[in-house]
Amino acid sequence: MLDFDWSVIWKSREVLWDGMVLSLKLFGIALAGGIFFGTLLALARLSSWKILSYPAAGFVNLIRAIPFIMAIFWFYFLTPMLVSKFTGQQGEAVGPFTSAIVAFILVEAAYYSEIIRAGIQSIPRGQPWAAYALGMNYWQAMGFVVLPQAFRNMVPIMLTQAIILFQDTSLVYVVGLKDFLGAASKGGQITGRIVELYLFVALVFFIICFGASWLVKRIQARYSIAR
């Protein structure tokens, strides 16, 4: 016990760095895509057209009822099948990274849509009415009046969700991707020192997420809406 050999971390630095780059890439794309499609989903769910709101609600509830890993598996195994069916090409060309990106964007869209929906609903009804009265159309009222305020209300909780998303990127381990955690596993297999590498991964995640949530608290205190 406790005969640690911390030099393996230095020896595995390149693998670990590549892993961190992949994690950050996944995080960035999933965050941007999740917020974009999450906003559309939230608007669809709040729409008075049932043809929009019912499927949106169904999708969000479905995604939220299944484990994240299950969603990753769904896209990992089915995207290649679908691609080969529609294009006639070999489905393997899709690859685990692309299918993971698709899964992450859709799952995050479902979670973000709930946050954004709550944000939109926190805006008084009179605001869109006033915008319509000024002659704005739906998209102008949403884009210039409602959404900017909603997003401002939602900044802290969206950032908190972003921290959770960053932690969840480690789940791509299950389809064999070498994200930060996957890279540490790989490095551990090569060097035979899995313990040090996993402890190091935990420490790095802790520092990043703790620092980020501390920042979120600061932002929250500073920018909480003045009403």
| Interface with other proteins (CB under 8 A) | 1-2, 62, 65-70, 73-74, 77-78, 81, 163, 167-168, 170-171, 173-174, 181, 194-195, 198-199, 201-202, 205-206, 209-210, 213
Q: Report the residue number, 27 or 150, with the smaller CB distance to other proteins.
A: 27
**Any residues with CB less than 8 A from the CB of 95 and at least 6 apart, and which?**
none
Q: Which is nearer to other proteins, 1 or 226 (CB)?
A: 1
Q: 130 is written with which tokens?
A: 């006033």
Q: How far is the CB of 69 from other proteins (least distance, A)?
A: 5
- Cβ proximity to other proteins: between 132 and 205 the closer is 205
HSE at residue 15, side-chain half, CA atoms within 13 A, is 20
Question: Sign of the C-alpha dihedral, residues 209, 100, 31, 146?
Answer: negative
Could you tell me the smallest distance in angstroms from the CB atom of residue 210 to other proteins? 5
Nearer to other proteins, 34 or 188 (CB): 188
Residue nearer to other proteins on the CB measure, 23 or 142: 23
Residue placing its CB nearer to other proteins in the complex, 41 or 201? 201
d(CA 56, CA 51): 9
For the bound state, the minimum distance from the C-beta of residue 123 to other proteins, rounded and expressed in Å, comes to 20
Least Cβ distance, residue 46 to other proteins (angstroms): 21
Cα separation, 68 vs 30, in Å, equals 13
In this structure, what DSSP letter does residue 220 have? H
Residue by residue, DSSP assigns 86-108 as: HH-S-GGGGHHHHHHHHHHHHHH
The 3-class secondary structure across 64-77, one letter per residue, is HHCCHHHHHHHHHH
Rounded CA separation 48/204 (Å): 46
Q: 85 with 184: CB under 8 angstroms?
A: no
Question: For other proteins, which is the closer residue by CB, 46 or 163?
Answer: 163
Kindly state the smallest distance separating residue 104's Cβ from other proteins, in Å.
14
Instruction: Specify whether the CB–CB gap between 110 and 64 falls below 8 A.
Output: yes
CB of 9 to other proteins, least distance (A): 14
**Nearest-approach distance from CB 213 to other proteins, in angstroms:** 7
